[in-house]
């Protein structure tokens, strides 16, 4: 189906609806994405949208402007044009004779973001939103920056979009597919460079951050996330900020929870149906009486780069999320994590800022100066491909960090919420960063990461107006670690680990730094120890899976290597997503993504990241392929990016484009 916008741009849509919708109009559930409905999201679409259509809804899956089979050109993620198009689409859908006039938006990641963003624009037919794995603050909690630090996912996911959005439309659907493809290739924005031009929380990031004005969202919001995902914080934030919002967080990575991993999965479709029936049809399903916040409290287990299942239990908070829970404060001391701080020890606290080192006794005098490759066991920033992407045993990174251990716990401890760490420290350089991990230490020494946080110390006071560190002057900094729900067993220990490098998750500071810790404490949100499940979900269900023929099976590789001659340390990633043929319409598609992250332990300026995607489409005797490359290095003053895009028709190069960008470092 085509949707013609007011400027003449045609968006391509796929529709699932009841056979009698023309006679008995139904509400619409819209999912609006750049990820190609013809070959990109087919697997999850097949499981989800027909299920709702069989229960009285029209599901509409729209390719955004410039992507998949839609016309036009893409500008950026969450651009004003994208949001304006969505409002037009919603109003168009509401006016169709088979629509009852009410619309809901549902989506994960990009679709979760724009559901909230469009809701803030208040199109009249939009009554409800289900947002999964999303954020309320584009600068603080997306794939670009975290705690003001530059995430290497900025390059990694930018490379993914450099690949995704440069793919051709399906040649079977239109005669002008080649013209559309070439226009798309010529205009495709290289997003990593665009994002890197905004290194503080300026107006660019404020746009689309619904935390700027929660009150603008009038639609009813159900927010869902996973502890294995990058986006752990939005669910409790939305529950606390939006009247009537409900939240669910499971153990999952970046997937819909009716087919996510690790298990247990839940009956997400049934939960969503209850939401839609109430807010789009006016049926009393009792959702307004559900607990505000339902979270999966994970049992503390041994570290692993992948879990098929996490043992635990569902807990429920009737009102609010976690802000009302009590906290337990532990102090960082020379004897580890203790409940006794400076005052109890008869010492004076160091002042919050600009305090001379010599005039005040310090509880600590710990040097943090980690080698640049510290962070090798952090796992992927956003676990999504179902490979070995989760944080492994933290002992190797802990050996390169300053660590503070508690005594063995006298009882189980349920940590539910966002731990907050406050430090007093000095830096010998104006630009520095810290990474803080809260770890669970097993009796044999194995270390499982519970949660973590990072901070660019120039952003210690403000993400909008960074200020360099005054060298050698004590500063107090506070950072919140990511939300979590985790049980540490009796007899096990807690550890706070602090480093000034976290590679390859974070791009390093320009110089090797020496941080001195003078005092610190961590506030742990505590919940009374839960017994059994406090809430039960229906088991997962779904529609029939997508029918495909596998021509090449998928395969995932993670290899860490050290060159014993040069000392360079490299992480090599290869995700081969296989090659498949759609059993219905016959389109063949496949992709291979490759990343390389290299650094020398003694030289932050040796950091090098490179990405290369190969994408194939085959239709009858037409074989189309793109090769999308990009790389980044930096010196003390600037980032240096290169990118190349190649397009092949039947193995003949028909398009090539090279980009080179130099972008000054700004408090980064």
Q: What pLDDT shows up at residue 341?
A: 53
The mean-pLDDT minimum among 66-70, 265-269, 446-450 falls in: 66-70
Looking at residues 317-323, what average pLDDT do you find? 97
Q: pTM of the predicted model, to two decimals?
A: 0.94
Q: Cα(115)–Cα(210) distance, rounded to whole angstroms?
A: 11
Q: Which positions ≥6 away from 399 have C-beta within 8 Å?
A: none
Residue 353 pLDDT:
34
Convert 500-535 into a string of H (helix), E (strand) and C (coil): CCCCCCECCCCCCCCEEEEEEEEEEEEECCCCCCCC
Provide the percentage of residues in the chain whose pLDDT is more than 70: 97
pLDDT digits (tens, 9 = 90+) for 579-638: 999 999 999 999 999 999 999 999 999 999 999 999 999 999 999 999 999 999 999 999
Residue 618 contacts residue 588 (beta carbons within 8 Å): yes
Strands 126-132 and 145-146: unpaired
User: In the predicted model, what is the mean pLDDT of residues 416-428?
Assistant: 98
pLDDT given for residue 611 in this prediction: 98
Q: Angle 114-120-125 (CA atoms, 0-180°, nearest 5)?
A: 90
CB 651 within 8 A of CB 625: yes
Distance CA 384, CA 480 (A): 24
Give the per-residue pLDDT at 385.
80
Is residue 355 over pLDDT 70?
A: no
Label residue 548 exposed, middle or buried (CB < 10 Å: 0-12, 13-18, 19+): middle
In the DSSP assignment, the letter for residue 58 is E
Residue 640 main-chain phi, psi, to 5 deg: -125, 120
Residues 607, 640: Cα–Cα separation, whole Å: 11
Cβ atoms within 10 Å, residue 228: 27
The two structure tokens encoding residue 155 = 């390059």
Token duo for residue 13: 């849509």
pLDDT tens readout for residues 83-124: 999 999 999 999 999 999 999 999 999 999 999 999 999 999
Rounded mean pLDDT of 267-293? Answer: 97
- Model pLDDT, residue 362: 46
The reported pLDDT for the residue numbered 61 is 97
């Amino acid at each position: 189906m085509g949707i013609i916008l007011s400027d003449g741009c045609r968006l391509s849509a796929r529709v699932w609806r009841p056979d009698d919708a023309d006679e008995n109009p139904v509400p619409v559930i819209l999912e609006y994405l750049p990820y190609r409905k013809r070959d990109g999201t087919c697997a999850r679409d097949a499981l989800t949208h027909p299920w709702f259509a069989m229960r009285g809804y029209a599901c509409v899956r729209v390719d955004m402007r410039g992507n998949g089979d839609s016309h036009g050109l893409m500008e950026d993620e969450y651009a004003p044009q994208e949001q304006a198009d969505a409002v037009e689409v919603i109003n168009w859908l509401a006016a169709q004779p088979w629509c009852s006039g009410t619309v809901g938006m549902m989506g994960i990641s990009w679709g979760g973001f724009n559901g909230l963003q469009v809701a803030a624009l208040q199109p009249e037919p939009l009554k409800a939103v289900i947002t999964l794995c999303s954020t309320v603050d584009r600068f603080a909690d997306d794939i670009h920056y975290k705690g003001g630090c530059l995430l290497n996912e900025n390059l990694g996911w930018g490379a993914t979009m450099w690949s995704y959005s440069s793919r051709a439309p399906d040649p079977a659907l239109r005669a002008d597919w080649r013209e559309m493809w070439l226009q798309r290739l010529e205009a495709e924005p290289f997003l990593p460079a665009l994002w890197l031009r905004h290194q503080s929380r300026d107006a660019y990031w404020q746009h689309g951050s619904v935390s700027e004005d929660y009150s603008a969202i009038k639609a009813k919001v159900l927010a869902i996330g996973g502890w294995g995902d990058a986006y752990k914080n939005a669910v409790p934030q939305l529950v606390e900020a939006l009247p009537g919002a409900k939240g669910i967080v499971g153990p999952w990575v970046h997937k819909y929870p009716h087919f996510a991993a690790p298990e247990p999965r839940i009956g997400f479709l049934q939960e969503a149906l209850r939401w839609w029936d109430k807010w789009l049809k006016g049926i009393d399903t009792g959702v307004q009486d559900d607990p505000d916040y339902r979270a999966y409290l994970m049992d503390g287990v041994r570290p692993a780069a992948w879990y098929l299942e996490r043992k635990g239990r569902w807990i429920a908070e009737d009102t609010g999320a976690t802000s009302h829970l009590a906290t337990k404060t532990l102090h960082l001391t020379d004897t580890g994590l203790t409940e006794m701080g400076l005052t109890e020890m008869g010492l004076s606290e160091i002042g919050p800022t600009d305090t001379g080192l010599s005039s005040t006794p310090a509880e600590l005098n710990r040097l943090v100066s980690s080698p640049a490759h510290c962070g090798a066991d952090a796992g992927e920033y956003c676990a999504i491909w179902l490979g070995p992407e989760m944080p492994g045993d933290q002992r190797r990174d802990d050996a390169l960090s300053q660590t503070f251990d508690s005594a063995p716990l006298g009882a189980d401890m349920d940590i539910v919420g966002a731990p907050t760490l406050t430090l007093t420290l000095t830096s010998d350089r104006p630009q520095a960063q810290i990474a803080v991990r809260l770890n669970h230490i097993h009796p044999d020494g194995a270390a499982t990461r519970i949660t973590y946080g990072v901070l660019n110390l120039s952003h210690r006071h403000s993400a909008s107006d960074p200020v360099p560190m005054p060298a050698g002057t004590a500063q107090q900094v506070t950072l919140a670690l990511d939300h979590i729900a985790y049980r540490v067993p009796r007899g096990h220990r807690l550890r706070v680990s602090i480093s000034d490098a976290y590679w390859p998750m974070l791009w390093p500071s320009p110089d090797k730094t020496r941080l001195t810790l003078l005092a610190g404490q961590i506030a742990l949100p505590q919940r009374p120890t839960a017994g059994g499940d406090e809430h039960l979900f229906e088991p997962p269900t779904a529609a029939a899976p997508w029918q495909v023929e596998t021509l090449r099976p998928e395969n995932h590789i993670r290899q860490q290597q050290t060159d014993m001659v040069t000392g360079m340390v490299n992480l090599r990633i290869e995700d081969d997503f296989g090659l498949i043929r759609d059993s219905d319409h016959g389109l063949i598609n496949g992709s291979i993504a490759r990343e390389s992250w290299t650094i020398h332990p003694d030289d932050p300026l040796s950091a090098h990241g490179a990405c290369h995607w190969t994408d194939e489409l085959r239709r009858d005797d037409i074989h189309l392929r793109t090769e999308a490359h990009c790389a980044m290095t930096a010196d003390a003053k600037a980032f240096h990016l290169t990118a190349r895009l190649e397009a092949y028709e039947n193995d003949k190069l028909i398009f090539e484009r090279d980009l080179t960008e130099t972008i000054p470092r700004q408090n980064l």
